[in-house]
């Protein structure tokens, strides 16, 4: 109907203009900013893109996407001039008609006059006037709807509609932009007629196909473009479940997964005739039914897709063949039960159709509301039906679509038309501001191909293939319906692979050089790291070494200081010893304070006291008693002749007395051993558990007196050296049970005195020991030529619990040291050295000694060897040695170390001591033994 020829509105009606057309704002002249291309470094892709065609720019005639709204067209069906006749032939797939009206065409009264209620105001607006039958009701106001893209009157031809509405879509489609056109309107309003038409009056699809193939004819270079067409429908089986049927095939059912239809057949269309033939076949297969409003009413949503498939080319994608899809949908018409008279299954179909249309409208309304107010979320109404699911992208504004509203102009269709216009007129406000860029898939491929060529320089060839496979898989997943495109794309990928291979070969030398340089760089970097780590380690080690050096320096300095202190002490000690020696010599027995005494508590603490070189502090001991527990060892060395050392010890278990008198080339050593020994004397006297003291003296001026009295074990060691004679004598005493052979009968717990004398002026060393359990006294004399222990002889009678004393007397100036211990192990080591030739060395034995040890120094005691000192313990006399006058020469001093407590011994001990006349005899025998040993040594 031509709006110009439309009748004016009735005077009694009020025209209500709804949705007045809004004037779009003037598009600002957005002139692109001029870029300074000189500042931007050119990307060296000319060579890469030389073989690739740049995408063709869209025609300038196409509107910019941001300024495009949803196009809503309105087409008014002409008023029927004759009664509707039932169609003679119906499709097999058509739903059965209403049983009550089966095979009964809709009858229209012959005298029925049709009055139009819709008036076309202009090309974009119409006026809906209330029919006369409804004037009595409240709805008496006319309604004006504007803002349409175009309003096609009742007398508009198919071609005009196509030229105005579809041709732009086809042109865009051919340019690579997908589009969709959907016919929406009540049943019998002419949707199918608009979409498909008839052979005599073809609809939009045939015209579009003609346009497509006609458009490509003048471009022989584009003759290789191929188009595929698919037609399927969505219908409802008894209004319960939606089903999809492929109308190009034998009507097989297909399925939809999300928004993708699987199993849909695409028919290659190469010409218009072929396409029209396929369309006619599909229309025949479509489900239709005769209703009161339409003799051949469509009962399904029919969807026609025309897809532009990219043509094959040598590795280059034709930008024009971008896979655009032109979709045209013939929706089922909304039906009112009163008008259609549907019942039963048909009524269910009507409900299903109405519901689908309602969902479709809800999606668009939601999109519109979302665009108006971004706070409102975009509702997912599309999930409510297969149709909306399939058209999701269009309904969400991602793709462009157009609507063609078909309306009947009769008064009896006033309500349907009014409902349609009220529902669909707001859709024209939908804007496409978020439309995906056209040819996205093809452009992705194109850019991917370009990037492949670019990446060939940097990445291996395998990565390109992998990337291509991923792209292919992605395409396969997303575009399953594009089977042919997949094949084509696969072929393109293969071609690209070939090209990539060639390009890889061409870039191979560069890649090799880069790889070599990178490899060398990595190697050098790793080498530098290793060197750096090694240097770090050496640096740390050097710091540690420096610290150690500093500490060593400190310790060296400390040692030096200590050494100096020791030297100072030594010098002082020497001076002190020299002074003391002189004084001792001059003083009497009262001056025993110069005698060094050590009382260690164990064997380890036994110290050898060297008067000459050792700086061990001395403990001067006088005649006082010095109780010593444990083991004590005293070693005393003296070099000077005037030196006098007294060492006294008393231990409970072990005691050792060691006296060293060092004289150049002469050593006097008395050693005490705890091991059981068997001493063989000349008289075959065997002594068990006795203490034995050996005392050797070579020079007459040497005087050593050692006395020990252990309870269990005692050891006495006397080492005397003489400067005058080069014959060291070693005396060893054993305190363990030993078997001494002497002239006397074997006695347990007796002491054995061994006396070695080599010369007449040999001093006598007497070792006296007393042991309760085991006493042994060994004397080992060592000479320079032989250090083996000698066989000691004892002339004395073995007496229990007595100590043996060895006395060496070399010269008359030799002092005598007497030490005794009674109940505990005692080791007395005396080293006496005197520069003046010793004349006498007297050893006295005390048979009864007190517990405490006391030493007495007696001078000028000559010839008292073998005398019982216990008789005169308190007053030692300096006398010449009567029994050995040969040893009494030049006897000047006589040191007697005796305990005052010796008098306090028990009765038996005192008796033994009183009846000790054999001591003199023993001394003589000892002297004899000394002489013998001396001779033996001389022989050796």
Ligand X SMILES: Nc1ncnc2c1ncn2[C@@H]1O[C@H](COP(=O)(O)OP(=O)(O)OP(=O)(O)O)[C@@H](O)[C@H]1O
The site for ligand X (CB under 6 A) is made up of 77-78, 185, 187-193, 294, 296-298, 332-333, 406
Are the C-beta atoms of residues 839 and 832 closer than 8 Å to each other?
no
Of 298 and 632, CB closest to ligand X: 298
d(CA 202, CA 143): 32
Place of tokens 């363990």: 736
Q: Please name every residue paired with 186 in a beta bridge, in sequence order, or none if there are none.
A: 334
Give the helix ranges, DSSP H, for 32-110: 46-49
Question: Measured from the CB atom, is 204 or 663 closer to ligand X?
Answer: 204
CB of 76 to ligand X, least distance (A): 8
Residue 174 or 302 having the CB closest to ligand X: 302
Question: Residue 266's closest CA among 252, 283, 246, 251?
Answer: 246
To ligand X, the closest distance from the beta carbon of 473 in angstroms equals 41
Cα gap 821→652, rounded to integer Å: 10
Q: Which is nearer to ligand X, 414 or 609 (CB)?
A: 414
Bin 439: left if φ > 0, else alpha if -120 < ψ < 50, else beta: left
Indicate the residue among 193 and 774 with the shorter CB distance to ligand X: 193
- Output the furthest CA–CA distance in the chain (Å, rounded): 191
Closest CA to 825 of 603, 645, 618: 603
Distance CA 848, CA 723 (A): 36
Smallest gap from Cβ 324 to ligand X, in A, equals: 27
For residue 550, the SS3 value is helix
Burial bucket for residue 262 (CB in 10 Å: 0-12, 13-18, 19+): exposed
Tokens representing 45? 């892709």
- Residue among 57 and 89 whose Cβ is closer to ligand X: 89
Tell me if 192 is assigned to a ligand binding site.
yes
Report residue 288 as tokens. 């239709």
Judged by CB, which is closer to ligand X: 191, or 892?
191
**Is 191 known as a binding-site position?**
yes
Residue among 249 and 406 whose Cβ is closer to ligand X = 406
Give the nearer residue to ligand X in terms of CB position, either 77 or 835.
77
Q: How far apart, in whole angstroms, are the C-alpha atoms of residue 918 and residue 912?
A: 11
Q: Which residues in 165-192 are b (16+ Cβ under 10 Å) and which e?
A: bbbbbbbbbbbbbbbbbbbbbbbbbbbb
**Cβ of residue 95: shortest distance to ligand X, in angstroms?**
12
CA distance 830 to 815: 10
Report in angstroms the alpha-carbon separations of 557 from 546, 560, 567: 16, 5, 15
Q: Whose Cβ is closer to ligand X: residue 385's or residue 634's?
A: 385
State the nearest-atom distance from the C-beta of 188 to ligand X, in Å.
Answer: 4
Structure-derived torsion over alpha carbons of residues 733, 736, 737, 743, reported in degrees to the nearest 10: 10
Annotated ligand binding at 186? The verdict is yes
Q: Which is nearer to ligand X, 41 or 199 (CB)?
A: 199
Please name the residue that has the structure tokens 């004399």. Answer: 781
CB of 406 to ligand X, least distance (A): 6
The verdict on whether residue 189 carries a ligand-binding annotation is: yes
* Closer residue to ligand X (CB): 189 or 794: 189
Cα–Cα distance between 819 and 410 in angstroms, integer? 158
| Rounded distance between C-alpha atoms, residue 665 and residue 732, angstroms | 20
- For residue 439, the minimal CB distance to ligand X (Å) is 33
**CB of residue 199 to ligand X, shortest distance in Å:** 12
Cα radius of gyration rounded to whole Å, the chain = 69
Q: What are the tokens at 525?
A: 């970097």
Which residue number, 288 or 673, has a Cβ lying nearer to ligand X?
288
> CB–CB of 187/159 below 8 Å?
no
Helices marked H in 298-434 — which ranges? 337-340, 345-372, 386-390, 392-395, 414-424
CB of 400 to ligand X, least distance (A): 24
State the number of CA atoms in the 13 A half-sphere of 7 facing the CB. Answer: 10
Which helix (H) or strand (E) covers residue 232, if one does? Answer: strand 226-237
Q: How far is the CB of 270 from ligand X (least distance, A)?
A: 28
Q: What is the token pair recorded at 662? A: 């060092």
Contact call for residues 588 and 859 (beta carbons, < 8 A): yes
Q: Compute the least distance from the CB of residue 74 to ligand X, in Å.
A: 12
| Residues in CB range of 436: below 8 A, 6 or more apart | 393, 398, 399
Q: Count of CB atoms within 10 A of residue 139's CB?
A: 14
Q: Please report, for residues 113, 587, 840, 893, the alpha-carbon distance to residue 878 in angstroms, rounded to integers and kept in the order given.
A: 182, 13, 10, 7
Please, what is the minimum distance in Å from the beta carbon of residue 206 to ligand X?
14
Shortest Å distance, C-beta 102 to ligand X:
17
Quickly count: other Cβ atoms within 10 Å of residue 545's Cβ. Answer: 10
CA distance 757 to 729: 9
Supply 835's token pair: 């520069």
CA dist 832 and 672 (Å) reads: 18
Least distance between ligand X and beta carbon 302 (Å): 9
Q: Is 185 annotated as a binding residue?
A: yes
* Smaller CB separation from ligand X, 298 or 844: 298
Closer Cβ to ligand X, 298 or 757, answer by number: 298
Residue labelled with tokens 């004393």: 805
Residue 257, number of CB atoms within 10 A of its CB: 9
Q: How far is the CB of 350 from ligand X (least distance, A)?
A: 10
Binding residues: 185-192
Binding residues for ATP: 185-192
């Amino acid at each position: 109907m031509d709006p110009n020829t439309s009748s004016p509105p009735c005077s009694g009606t009020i025209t209500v203009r709804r949705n007045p057309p809004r004037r779009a704002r003037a598009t600002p002249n957005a002139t692109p900013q001029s870029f300074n291309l000189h500042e931007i470094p050119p990307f060296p892709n000319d060579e890469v893109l030389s073989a690739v065609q740049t995408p063709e720019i869209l025609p300038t005639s196409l509107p910019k996407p941001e300024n495009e709204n949803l196009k809503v067209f309105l087409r008014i069906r002409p008023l029927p001039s004759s009664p509707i006749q039932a169609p003679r032939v119906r499709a097999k797939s058509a739903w059965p008609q209403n049983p009550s009206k089966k095979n009964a065409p809709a009858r229209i009264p012959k005298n029925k006059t049709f009055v139009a209620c819709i008036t076309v105001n202009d090309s974009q607006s119409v006026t809906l006037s209330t029919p006369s039958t409804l004037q009595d009701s409240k709805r008496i106001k006319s309604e004006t709807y504007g803002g349409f893209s175009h309003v096609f009157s009742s007398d508009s031809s198919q071609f005009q509609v196509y030229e105005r509405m579809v041709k732009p879509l086809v042109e865009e489609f051919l340019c690579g932009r997908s589009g969709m056109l959907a016919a929406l309107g009540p049943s019998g309003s002419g949707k199918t007629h608009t979409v498909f038409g008839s052979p005599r009056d073809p609809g939009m699809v045939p015209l579009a196909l003609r346009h497509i193939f006609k458009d490509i004819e003048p471009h022989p270079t584009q003759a290789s473009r191929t188009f595929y067409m698919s037609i399927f429908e969505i219908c409802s089986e008894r209004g319960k479940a939606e089903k999809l049927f492929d109308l190009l095939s034998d009507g097989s059912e297909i399925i939809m997964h999300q928004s993708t239809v699987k199993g849909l057949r695409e028919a290659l269309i190469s010409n218009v005739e072929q396409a029209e033939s396929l369309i006619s076949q599909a229309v025949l297969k479509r489900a239709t039914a005769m209703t009161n409003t339409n003799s051949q009413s469509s009962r399904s949503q029919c969807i026609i897709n025309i897809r532009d498939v990219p043509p094959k080319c040598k590795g280059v994608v034709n930008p024009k063949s971008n896979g655009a899809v032109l979709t045209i949908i013939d929706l089922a018409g909304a039906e009112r039960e009163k008008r259609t008279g549907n019942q039963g299954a048909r009524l269910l179909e009507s409900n299903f159709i109405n519901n689908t249309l309602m969902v479709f409208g809800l999606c668009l309304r939601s999109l519109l509301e979302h665009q108006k107010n971004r706070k409102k979320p975009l509702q997912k109404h599309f999930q409510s039906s297969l149709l909306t699911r399939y058209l999701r992208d269009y309904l969400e504004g991602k793709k462009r679509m157009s609507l063609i509203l078909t309306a009947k102009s009769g008064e009896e269709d006033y309500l349907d038309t009014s409902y349609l216009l009220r529902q669909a007129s707001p859709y024209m406000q939908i804007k496409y501001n978020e439309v995906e860029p056209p040819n996205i898939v093809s452009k992705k491929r194109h850019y991917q191909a370009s990037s492949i060529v670019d990446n060939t320089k940097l990445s291996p060839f395998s990565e390109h293939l992998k990337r291509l496979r991923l792209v292919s898989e992605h395409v396969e997943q997303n575009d399953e319906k594009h089977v042919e495109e997949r094949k084509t794309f696969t072929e393109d990928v293969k071609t690209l692979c070939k090209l990539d291979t060639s390009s890889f070969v061409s870039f191979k030398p560069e890649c090799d050089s880069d790889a070599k340089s990178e490899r060398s760089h990595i190697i050098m970097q790793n080498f530098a790291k290793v060197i750096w780590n090694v240097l770090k380690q050496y640096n740390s080690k050097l710091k540690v070494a420096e610290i150690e050096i500093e500490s060593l320096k400190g310790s060296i300095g400390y040692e030096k200081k200590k050494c100096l202190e020791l030297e100072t002490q030594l010098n002082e000690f020497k001076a002190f010893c020299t002074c003391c020696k002189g004084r001792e010599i001059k003083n009497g027995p009262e001056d025993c304070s110069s005698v060094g005494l050590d009382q260690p508590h164990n064997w380890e603490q036994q110290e050898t006291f060297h008067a000459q070189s050792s700086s061990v502090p001395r403990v001067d001991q006088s005649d006082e008693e010095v109780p010593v527990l444990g083991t004590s060892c005293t070693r005393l060395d003296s070099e000077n002749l005037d030196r006098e050392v007294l060492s006294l010890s008393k231990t409970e278990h072990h005691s050792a007395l060691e006296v060293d008198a060092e004289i150049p080339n002469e050593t006097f050593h008395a050693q005490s051993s705890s091991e059981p020994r068997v001493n063989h004397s000349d008289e075959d006297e065997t002594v068990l558990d006795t203490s034995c003291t050996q005392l050797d003296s070579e020079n007459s001026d040497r005087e050593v007196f050692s006395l020990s009295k252990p309870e269990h074990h005692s050891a006495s060691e006397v080492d005397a050296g003489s400067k005058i004679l080069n014959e060291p004598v070693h005396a060893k005493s054993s305190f363990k049970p030993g078997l001494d052979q002497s002239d006397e009968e074997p006695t347990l717990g007796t002491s054995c005195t061994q006396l070695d004398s080599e010369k007449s002026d040999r001093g006598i060393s007497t070792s006296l020991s007393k042991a309760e359990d085991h006493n042994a006294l060994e004397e080992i004399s060592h000479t320079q030529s032989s250090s083996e222990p000698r066989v000691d002889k004892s002339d004395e009678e073995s007496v229990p619990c007595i100590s043996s004393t060895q006395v060496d007397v070399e010269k008359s100036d030799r002092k005598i040291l007497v030490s005794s211990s009674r109940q505990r192990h005692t080791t007395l080591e005396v080293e006496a050295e005197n520069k003046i030739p010793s004349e006498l060395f007297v050893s006295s034995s005390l048979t009864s000694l007190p517990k405490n040890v006391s030493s007495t120094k007696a001078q000028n005691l000559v010839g008292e060897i073998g005398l019982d000192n216990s008789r005169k313990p308190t007053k030692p006399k300096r006398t010449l040695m009567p029994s050995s006058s040969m040893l009494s020469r030049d006897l000047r001093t006589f040191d007697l170390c005796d305990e005052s407590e010796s008098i306090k011994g028990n009765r038996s001990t005192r008796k033994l001591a009183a009846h000790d006349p054999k001591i003199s005899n023993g001394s003589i025998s000892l002297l004899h033994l000394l002489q013998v040993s001396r001779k033996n040594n001389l022989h050796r």
